Structure 1
Amino acid sequence: MASPRITLTVPGPHGDREVGLSSPDRVVWPEVGITKRELAEYFIAVADPFLRANGDRPVSLQRFPDGIDGEAFFSKNPPKGAPEFVESVTVTYNSGRRHPQLVLTEIAAAVWAAQMNTVVFHPWASLASDTDNPVELRIDLDPQPGTDFGDAAAVAPALRDVLAEAGLETWIKTSGNRGLHVFCPIEPAHEFLDVRHAVIAAGRELARRMPDKVTMDWWKEERGKRIFIDYNQANRDRTMAGAYSPRALPTATVSTPLAWDELASADPAAFTVRTIPRRLAEVGDPWEAIAAKPGRIDTLLEWWQRDLDDGLGELPFPPEFPKMPGEPPRVQPSRAKKEDDG
């Protein structure tokens, strides 16, 4: 029998909102017993840092109507009947299609999203005020089979050095799983393709310095036991879990901002829906000032051009993207070799 509907009082910039929550006792994370109500109350508890990281920008909602063990789907567009405080902005997708996308401007919208069975929030790297030009350069350090969080943590300081040489300040968070996300706030002076090229330039430089530990190879068969720099996460309409977003993993881990001096001893499993509010109360938000001094990607784009001049060209795009200028064939190397031999 479903638990009765309740109403949560949610503070916000326009006063309190009353947000209804149906089936509040429905278990979202069976292994740890976290309910829909507990998830909604988590967003209220982390309102300020959550909105700093995910608000005022296009966001996709990853929804799990039957809990994290059930089927999931993504919502990008505001559904019919959404309350007036759930806003939207028209964006252009990589296909050229334009469509409204959800925007969170107050925490009541995140609580409403929890009512809609949202677990993971995937914000764009650009703001609603200028959706075509990112305000963040994002680099996903993705452990491959045979590597783990510790391997990503060992690589991250070297990436920080590379980005510092390019004039950028770096901020780091756990992915909520095994990886790490490195963010650099940037001026919204370049569109997504330029920012992707800047990420590739940084990744190539890191891979040159750490060839046994870092790879830029798109095809999994070539990556080996190394940390993959997932440069395609910098593309338009490609997102990663936002800071302070829960993950759809058994223990309700959260993608958690860290201070750099925390990285060596950090345990990503320790950061969960139940522990993050206490962490924020005790140590604050390490990303509170992330947007204070945005940098520029000019130096990275100079490195990109240098590599082009040296014969290093464009890299593959995700399969759903249209064929892009200068892109190599989207054929995995082993298959291409068989075709050549045939």
Structure 2
Amino acid sequence: MPSTSAPPRSRTSSKPVLARRPRVKAQSPLPAFRPLQLATLVDTVPSGSGWFHEMKYDGYRLLVAVGDGEARAYTRSGLDWSAKFAPLLAAAAKLKVGSALIDGEAVVLDGNGRSNFQSLQNALKSSPDAIDYYAFDLLELDGADLTALPLRERKKKLTAILPKKDTRIRYSDHIEGSGEKLLAGFCSAGLEGVISKKADGRYVGSRSGSWLKTKCIKRQEFVIVGWTPSDKGRSFRSLMLGVHEKGELRYAGKVGTGFDTTELFRLQDIMQPLEQKTPTVTAPRSETRGARWIKPQLVAEIAFTEMTREGTLRHPSYLGLREDKKAEAVVLEKEAPADEAARPSPVPISNRDRVIYPESNITKGQLADYYAAIAEIMLPWAGSRPISLVRCPQGRAKKCFFQKHDAGAFGDAVRQVAIQEKDGGSEPYLYIDTAEGLLTCVQMGTIEFHGWGARIEDVEKADRLVFDLDPDEGLDFEAVRSAAFHFRDILKQIGLETFPMLTGGKGVHVVAPLKPRAQWPEVKDFAHRLAQAVAQSDPDNFTAALPKAQRKGRIFVDYLRNQRGATAVMPYSARAREQAPVAAPISWKEMETIDKPSHFQIGDAKELLKRARSKALAGWGRADQELPDL
């Protein structure tokens, strides 16, 4: 493990630019951002063999991409923070690889080798040359996707490409077994905690249960909802905090320690433009005397000893602002028993013999088994984004309905994110990020999962562009196939790479993954204008008209999936249609010969898993392109 008493080393200055590097290997394209594997908070370190235990660092999670002669840094939500970590990326660009995608943590170490979040924030403002990077996983190397390999093999490959000397980019070491002893040692040394990972686990871009975290002290993010004035000048006395629970922002107490003078005045300057007259939380009157309220947009990292029965913090201490996380995504993190969290899906399915698909006698139990099997490849797509469920409690042939909100019937495994509505208020939207959440929805009668084109980290920015090619009655699949290739070529001409997805229904989606930068009005306008241009250039085969009477004999280019609040069926979702088809991404090569949009069914789970892990299909959904001008 990294020493806790390593002395600080001397630095050489680095210019804040993305450094070019010598061509030590044939260059590969710069890898794109992909969803990160997340850890589940547990009450104890998991016991037994087969677990790697690593230090939990106190910094910013970063995905570092190296390729095509440069390096870039992405936050956990996909933001490009390369400019903030220029010296670090200058060192990464010198790695002797064709390309690589590395997962790790950016930190600043003190004289005792401990990482400190506030020191990291200060370094980002004034001395980025002081920032180190501990690498703990390797997702891609020289164009090859490594995520299907066991962790122990990925870490071996990682050690082989990292510098051997004590440099800015370091290897995050581990021990196997004896996790409780390691945690005790870390806690006594004032460190944050332990991350435990299954040694034979794949890298899954979601919260899968194969990564667990155990903390020495309680700490998490809270939303700043206001402040109380100080009687000693223009700074504040304390920050008022909130946290989302069941999709609503509630009061979580105040924090008045952990600030130095510089941070007090910096926060005051940041909060001043956000002031508003009305509070966004309900708090005890004794807590709100003289309070000044602000829009709930800032996120602070807070350490505390415990939470009271009333849901407020005991002995909180401010650690710093979290600029990599949106306020809407801040939810209360609760410790789970380690043995339960490590299980793939501890969800009992009732009425397993109930027939859900009467024409083929497929049961609720079979549907649940399908979702349990494909959770690891579905969650990177459907997880951590607002979803709408198609629930058919008595089977697909009986009453089905859409649901996007929950009054509490789903329990804690199905989470909620507060999203602002047109009237200025907010509503709790459902989302899932674990196999447990996915199976809980199935237990509640869900067949289909439809998702927004944005993740909960920033619901205002699209991470994909979807064109739904919907054929009129009477058109065969050959017409759909031809239309899909036509759209592929058009989008490629304007700089967008795409993949086709069989919907399990009548048509095909042509999908272009995007960096989450463009706001919804821009995305909707782009999709609308492109759909209209295609329809006008080939009116015999395409239409963008909404009235069904105008679609006769043509393919409707449904561009309306690309607007705020609209959903599209998620990859690997089952459909409430005859024979239990599923939506499935395919390659353009496969598109040449595939027979129908319902080619795959829930009985094909093993084949879908194998395809998703194959080299030919690796990398779908990686957001490495921006919305072009049209």
Same fold (TM over 0.5): yes
Deviation at 1:69, TM superposition (A): 0.5
2 CA distance for matches of 1:271 and 1:26? 22
Structure-2 residue corresponding to 1:338: none
Structure-2 residue corresponding to 1:22: 350
Deviation at 1:191, TM superposition (A): 2.1
Q: 3-state SS of the aligned residue for 1:277? A: helix
Structure-1 residue corresponding to 2:609: 280
**Cα contact 1:49–1:288 (8 A) shared by 2:** no
**Cα contact 1:171–1:287 (8 A) shared by 2:** no
Residue 292 (str. 1) matches residue 622 (str. 2): yes
Distance 1:142 1:177, change over 3 A: same
**Cα contact 2:611–2:617 (8 A) shared by 1:** no
2 CA distance for matches of 1:252 and 1:50? 17
**Cα contact 1:138–1:234 (8 A) shared by 2:** yes
**Cα contact 1:94–1:236 (8 A) shared by 2:** no
Larger deviation, residues 270-279 vs 115-124: 270-279
Q: Identity over aligned residues, as a percent?
A: 31
Q: 3-state SS of the aligned residue for 2:602? A: coil
2 CA distance for matches of 1:294 and 1:85? 31
Distance 1:220 1:94, change over 3 A: farther
Structure-2 residue corresponding to 1:319: none
Distance 1:42 1:94, change over 3 A: farther
Mapping of 1:101-180 within 5 angstroms? 101-180=429-508
Distance 1:105 1:192, change over 3 A: same
Structure-2 residue corresponding to 1:311: none
1 CA distance for matches of 2:540 and 2:590? 25
Deviation at 1:138, TM superposition (A): 0.9
Deviations 1:1-38 (A, max 9, x none): xxxxxxxxxx7344114212111111111111111111
Structure-1 residue corresponding to 2:527: 199
Q: 3-state SS of the aligned residue for 1:182? A: strand
Mapping of 1:1-342 within 5 angstroms? 12-13=209-210, 14-16=341-343, 17-93=345-421, 97-267=425-595, 268-281=597-610, 284=613, 288-299=618-629, 303=630
2 CA distance for matches of 1:248 and 1:95? 33
Q: 3-state SS of the aligned residue for 1:234? A: coil
Structure-1 residue corresponding to 2:252: none
Counterpart of 1:273, as a letter, is I
Deviation at 1:46, TM superposition (A): 0.7
Q: 3-state SS of the aligned residue for 1:62? A: strand
Deviations 1:215-262 (A, max 9, x none): 111222222211110112222222121110011101101111110001
Larger deviation, residues 234-243 vs 83-92: 83-92
| Unpaired stretches in structure 2, ≥5 consecutive residues | 1-207, 211-340
**Cα contact 2:504–2:599 (8 A) shared by 1:** no
**Cα contact 1:25–1:37 (8 A) shared by 2:** yes
1 CA distance for matches of 2:363 and 2:464? 33
**Cα contact 1:93–1:236 (8 A) shared by 2:** no
Distance 1:169 1:95, change over 3 A: farther
Q: 3-state SS of the aligned residue for 1:47? A: helix
**Cα contact 2:391–2:445 (8 A) shared by 1:** yes
Equivalenced residues, count: 291
**Cα contact 1:162–1:205 (8 A) shared by 2:** no
1 CA distance for matches of 2:428 and 2:611? 38
Q: 3-state SS of the aligned residue for 2:501? A: strand
Larger deviation, residues 265-274 vs 86-95: 86-95
Structure-2 residue corresponding to 1:314: none
Higher strand share: 2
Structure-2 residue corresponding to 1:323: none
Distance 1:253 1:57, change over 3 A: same
Q: 3-state SS of the aligned residue for 1:270? A: coil
Q: 3-state SS of the aligned residue for 2:598? A: helix
2 CA distance for matches of 1:231 and 1:97? 27
Larger deviation, residues 72-81 vs 175-184: 72-81
**Cα contact 1:163–1:202 (8 A) shared by 2:** no
Counterpart of 1:15, as a letter, is A
**Cα contact 1:78–1:86 (8 A) shared by 2:** no
Distance 1:97 1:160, change over 3 A: farther
Q: 3-state SS of the aligned residue for 2:535? A: helix
For normalisation by structure 2, the TM-score amounts to 0.44
Higher helix share: 1
Structure-2 residue corresponding to 1:326: none
| Unpaired stretches in structure 1, ≥5 consecutive residues | 1-10, 304-342
1 CA distance for matches of 2:477 and 2:372? 29
Deviation at 1:74, TM superposition (A): 1.8
**Cα contact 2:580–2:602 (8 A) shared by 1:** yes
Deviation at 1:192, TM superposition (A): 1.8
**Cα contact 1:94–1:237 (8 A) shared by 2:** no
Deviation at 1:276, TM superposition (A): 3.6
Q: 3-state SS of the aligned residue for 1:19? A: coil
